[in-house]
Amino acid sequence: MSRLLFQGVPGVADISESLRAQSTVHGSRFTIREADTLHEECGVVAIYGHPHAAREAYLSLYALQHRGQESAGIATADGHRLANIKGMGLVSEIFTDDVLAKLPGRMAIGHTRYSTTGDSALLNAQPIRVDSTKGLIAIAHNGNLVNLGNVRSRLERDGAYFQTTSDSEIIVQLIAHSGAGSLVDAIADSLSQVEGAFSIVMMTRDRIFAARDPHGFRPLSMGRMKNPGGSDTVVFASESCAFDLLRAEFVRDILPGELVMVSEDGVTSRQYASGIPQSSCIFEQVYFARPDSRIFGRWVQESRDQMGRQLARESGVRADVVVPVPDSGVTAALGYAEEAGIPFRFGLIRNHYVGRTFIEPEQRVRDFGVRLKLNPVHNLLAGKRVILIDDSIIRGTTSRKIVRMVRGAGATEVHLRISCPPTISPCFYGVDTPRKHELIAANHSIEEIRHYIEADSLAYLSLDGLLQSVRDEYHVGYCTACYTGAYPTQWVDVEDILPAAAAL
């Protein structure tokens, strides 16, 4: 049974309620949560001034599903009430026509979640709706706050009662406890007290707010939809690919440290923080964001193409075909192939219908993981020298399985090329990375990794090469901490950055 949480929905009590039965399954049901890949953080959207705001939020979340598949939620406001429905699962599983019909109003915010802090439970799904001293507020947040403990205990001492273990609620509690005179001042005051990564959308009964942290770790863009004969609809989304589905025009990125408010008076903006060097997450360009999105002032497709080209210049090798590890390695592989003058082939096919759960009568799911998702095209690989392009090696176990798979399909040589530098340090800014002692590149040389994954050769894109691939006229500053260990904030978890002594 799928459970949804209703808050403030007309005609429905504020309860968690089983709505519909999923198809009955026989045999055991296992969750596939791959241990050897980095996981997306979250996606946020906001809609202001649309008669079907909930449906527009649903479509935007649908386009952002790659940023989180564990839970999703939409809150709407009609000037008087603020309704919120959230559930576990994919956006399309939660929001049927019947459910969307329970969300009235011309304003909406939405969220799709992969948990990085707080339990992965319905209560921590977002948007979070809090009845505060400043009125009803709903919030949806992408990122991770890093001075969490201190702020939370201070608020609890001041009488705050937390409904969830999610870090996003801290911001609402700070707003509720702020001494600032107006709501917008209280929000600015609260945002300036938290450290870490946050791209946030918030909604009251009659206003929408959107903000990015002063470092600008996570993306957040503003768009606009023309309404013939009426006011424009203003939209916000983690990635611009969400605007395409709405036929909205991209307007601009929200700036690091900027707070934007949309109300019946129009769009207003203020810098609540300034003078902090920008540190946008470079791994968004490498892996997380969709290639059809424009983030940090740049098309992701263009960045990945350049990464592939640079990789070919830095570590070319004689070969017959360039093969991407789909889907994320595809754009870099195209750039590599074109630069190297070697044919590009889809030599590995991904099964797009492998969901988050897999029904299998025996406990063999983990062993099957890679083979379930990827299958080699034997006639393209047999007898060939293959360059495989992927975007990261985390623990090395998945890479080894893929190299074995390609060799098993008859490849005579397998050369692995990675479109970013070795991942040597965990992320504290909203990306779910293993601790340092589990990261293979933090504890072993490139030659040791090559030996472990059984490739004929292994090369990574250099840090300079990566930075060059994303360089443009906007001079965006990037966080590269997972490749360098140099963190842009002072807070790190010391346990997470201890190296391993274990040998391969």
Annotated catalytic sites, by residue? 42
CB of residue 34 vs ligand SF4: minimum separation in angstroms?
A: 17
Rg of the chain over Cα atoms, rounded to whole angstroms, equals 23
Lay out the site mask for ligand SF4 across 117-146 (x = CB under 6 A, - = otherwise): ------------------------------
Least distance in angstroms from the C-beta of 144 to ligand SF4: 9
427 contributes a contact to ligand SF4 by CB under 6 A: yes
283 contacts ligand SF4 (rule: CB under 6 A): yes
For ligand SF4, the binding residue among 74, 172, 281, 340 (CB under 6 A) is: 281
Total Cβ atoms within 10 A of residue 260: 22
217 counts as binding ligand SF4 under rule CB under 6 A: yes
The DSSP line for 293-345 is -EETTEEHHHHHHHHHHHHHHHS----SEEEE-TTTTHHHHHHHHHHHT--B-
Nearest residue to 56 via CA among 126, 125, 91, 108:
108
Select 453 or 481, whichever has its Cβ closest to ligand SF4: 481
Span from 1-9, 90-98, 442-450, 476-484 in contact with ligand SF4 (CB under 6 A) = 476-484
436: helix, strand or coil: helix
Q: How far is the CB of 206 from ligand SF4 (least distance, A)?
A: 34
Options 29-37, 245-253, 280-288, 301-309: segment touching ligand SF4 (CB under 6 A) = 280-288
Task: Determine contact, residues 81/99, Cβ cutoff 8 Å.
Answer: no
Label residue 235 left, alpha or beta by phi (over 0 means left) and psi (-120 to 50 means alpha).
Answer: beta
Q: Does 466 participate in binding ligand SF4 (rule CB under 6 A)?
A: no
In this chain, which stretch among 26-34, 173-181, 427-435, 444-452 interacts with ligand SF4, using CB under 6 A? 427-435
Nearest to 469 by CA among 391, 399, 361: 391
Of 61, 125, 455, 479, the residue at the interface with ligand SF4 (CB under 6 A) is 479
Compare residues 76 and 303 and give the one whose CB is closer to ligand SF4. 303
Burial of 360 (0-12, 13-18, 19+ CB in 10 A): middle
Q: Does 497 bind ligand SF4 (CB under 6 A)?
A: no
* 449 or 479: CB nearest ligand SF4: 479
| SS3 assignment, position 124 | helix
Exposed (0-12), middle (13-18) or buried (19+): which is 446, by Cβ within 10 Å? middle
DSSP readout, 354-370? --SEEE-SSS-HHHHHH
Q: Give the other-Cβ count within 10 Å of 459's Cβ.
A: 18
**8 A C-beta contact, residue 177 and residue 459:** no
Cis peptide before 376 (omega within 30 of 0): no
- Shortest spacing between CB 424 and ligand SF4, in angstroms: 10
| The residue count for the chain | 504
With b for 16 or more beta-carbon neighbours within 10 A and e for fewer, the 66-91 pattern comes to bbbbbbbbbbbbbeeebbbbbbbbbb
In the complex with ligand SF4, the residue whose CB is nearer, 195 or 339, is 195
Q: Where are the alpha helices (DSSP H) in 247-296?
A: 282-283
Figure out which of the listed residues 201, 321, 482, 497 binds ligand SF4, where binding follows CB under 6 A. 482
Contact flag: residue 461 with ligand SF4 (CB under 6 A)? no
- 99 scored as a contact of ligand SF4 (CB under 6 A): no
Does 344 bind ligand SF4 (CB under 6 A)? Our answer is no
Q: Does 481 bind ligand SF4 (CB under 6 A)?
A: yes
* Interacting residues with ligand SF4 between 439 and 458 (CB under 6 A): none
Burial of 157 (0-12, 13-18, 19+ CB in 10 A): exposed
Does 114 engage in binding with ligand SF4 (CB under 6 A)?
Answer: no
- Assess 480 for contact with ligand SF4 (CB under 6 A): yes
Task: Give whole-number Cα distances, 129 to 98, 122, 140, in Å.
Answer: 21, 13, 9
Q: Which is nearer to ligand SF4, 105 or 219 (CB)?
A: 219
* Of 439 and 449, CB closest to ligand SF4: 439
**For ligand SF4, which stretch binds (CB under 6 A), given 46-54, 227-235, 391-399, 423-431?**
423-431
Residue with Cβ nearer ligand SF4 (246 or 479): 479
Please tell me whether residue 62 binds ligand SF4 under the rule CB under 6 A: no
Return the structure tokens found at 275: 């003078």
Stretch that binds ligand SF4, among 162-170, 279-287, 380-388, 493-501 (CB under 6 A): 279-287
Cβ nearer to ligand SF4, comparing 453 with 482: 482
Among 63, 431, 441, 449, binds ligand SF4 (CB under 6 A): 431
Residue nearest to ligand SF4 (CB): 427
Contact between 429 and ligand SF4 by CB under 6 A: the answer reads yes
State the number of binding residues for ligand SF4 (CB under 6 A).
11
Q: Give the containing element (helix H, strand E) for 82.
A: strand 82-88
Residue 43 CB, shortest distance to ligand SF4, in Å, is 16
Nearest to ligand SF4 of 218, 345 (CB atom): 218
In angstroms, rounded to a whole number, what is the distance separating the alpha carbons of residues 266 and 46? 15
| Whole-angstrom distance, CA of residue 1 vs CA of residue 145 | 33
Of 316 and 485, which has the nearer Cβ to ligand SF4?
485
> Where on the chain is the footprint of ligand SF4 (CB under 6 A)?
217, 281-283, 427, 429, 431, 479-482
